[in-house]
């Protein structure tokens, strides 16, 4: 197996690194919606957006290696992702694959230009990560669907223009067979968005209530009953890639530097803990290379993505726990406070990472997938 990059790929890496250094938004602008829209548009104009999208739909049409290199360099520079990331990764590819020509013409270009921000509605209060148990109901009424129900943990719903939402159109047959996918204008009468205040103080997630929302039937994506297929094919895109290993390497360097400043680097117990993080960071890179190899050779391995998600999100928590433990009492100090070691980033990261093993499918669900579909273990009774 040859894991080296070709001269052409190294040239592309250098080109990307120089462009990101010159164009990434300033740190103080990274919470500004207009600045983040402008950043996404710069990425698009430079040919670095929608790498997996066909060029006829406005995508960059990068090959797999170019997309991986781009992701690595964005992570290395700590550049923010595009504000419309969920639409770029899931909504757009789903519309390209399952949408009508009218839907493609209507939605794809505004996604790329960040003119319309999208949220995705899967989880519900009574079903959590069990998407097949969704109860949000869509009843056909002539040329419309009437949607009623509730979604929860909807990222960016408070700033979104459109909703990519899994709804139940039938109660007949297996529970996953009665699900459909609708594209809903968030300004439709009957939609109520309530931000959820998180332990970090942010309000990234939301509850969304739908009260008899009338949705044109032409906004059905795919066929009735095809929602489970649409959503599961989209979620594969969430859990693959190799940029995560770059972030772990960066966090490891920060932790080692802090251990030296705190005079812990020579302690046998701390050295063992740091070595464990180093090994797991390297495993993450190997995971990513395996996924990349599958992509390059046309192998579809959705169950590997569950293992990757499980491993990397739990490792994120191990990193932030280590950072806080190294700081001792100082680990409780927040960003921006005077004399806070490492600028207080570990306290925020520790709290934020609590959500990582829930978002995108809980660790419990991922363990079941790994046990049943990779290891071939029997389903529990």
Active site residues: 238
Q: What backbone phi and psi angles, to 5 degrees, belong to 50?
A: 65, 50
Query: DSSP label at 374?
Result: I
Nearest C-alpha neighbor of 117 from the set 225, 26, 15, 40: 40
Sequential DSSP letters for 219-281: GEESSTT-HHHHHHHHHGGGG--SHHHHHHHHHHHHHHHHHHHTT-TT-HHHHHHHHHHHHHH
Alpha-carbon span 58 to 50, nearest angstrom: 8
Nearest C-alpha neighbor of 213 from the set 178, 185, 238: 185
Tokens 């590997």 belong to residue: 304
Query: DSSP label at 371?
Result: I
Alpha-carbon span 79 to 335, nearest angstrom: 19
User: By the 8 A CB rule, do 77 and 21 touch?
Assistant: yes
Alpha-carbon span 29 to 36, nearest angstrom: 8
């Amino acid at each position: 197996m040859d894991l080296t990059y070709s001269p052409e790929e190294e040239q592309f890496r250098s080109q990307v690194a120089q462009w990101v250094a010159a164009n990434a938004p300033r740190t103080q602008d990274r919470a500004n919606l207009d600045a983040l829209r402008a950043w996404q548009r710069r990425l698009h104009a430079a040919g670095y957006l929608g790498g997996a999208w066909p060029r006829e739909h406005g995508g960059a049409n990068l090959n797999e290696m170019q997309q991986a290199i781009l992701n690595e360099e964005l992570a290395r520079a700590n550049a923010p992702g595009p504000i419309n990331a969920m639409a770029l990764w899931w909504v757009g590819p789903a519309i390209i694959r399952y949408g009508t020509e009218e839907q493609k013409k209507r939605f794809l270009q505004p996604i790329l230009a960040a003119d319309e921000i999208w949220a995705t509605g899967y989880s519900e209060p009574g079903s959590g990560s069990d998407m097949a148990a969704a109860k949000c109901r869509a009843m056909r009424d002539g040329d419309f669907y009437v949607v009623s129900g509730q979604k929860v943990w909807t990222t960016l719903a408070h700033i979104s223009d459109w909703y990519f939402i899994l709804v139940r159109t039938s109660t007949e047959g297996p529970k996953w067979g009665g699900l459909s996918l609708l594209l809903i204008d968030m300004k439709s009468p009957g939609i109520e968005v309530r931000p959820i205040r998180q332990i970090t103080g942010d309000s990234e997630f939301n509850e969304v209530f739908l009260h008899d929302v009338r949705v044109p039937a032409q906004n059905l994506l795919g066929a009735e009953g095809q929602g489970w297929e649409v959503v599961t094919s989209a979620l594969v895109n969430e859990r693959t890639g190799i940029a995560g290993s770059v972030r772990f390497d960066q966090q490891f360097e920060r932790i080692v530097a802090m251990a030296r400043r705190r005079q812990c680097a020579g302690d046998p117990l701390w050295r063992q803990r740091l070595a464990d993080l180093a090994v797991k960071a390297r495993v993450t890179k190997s995971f990513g290379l395996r996924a990349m190899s599958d992509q390059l050779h046309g192998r579809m391995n959705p169950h590997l993505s569950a293992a990757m998600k499980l491993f990397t999100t739990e490792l994120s928590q191990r990193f932030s726990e280590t950072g806080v433990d190294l700081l001792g009492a100082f680990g409780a100090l927040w960003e921006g406070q005077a004399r806070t070691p490492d600028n207080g980033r570990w306290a925020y990261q520790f709290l934020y990472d609590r959500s990582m093993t829930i978002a995108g499918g809980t660790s419990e669900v991922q363990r079941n997938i790994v046990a049943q579909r990779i290891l071939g273990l029997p389903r529990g009774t």
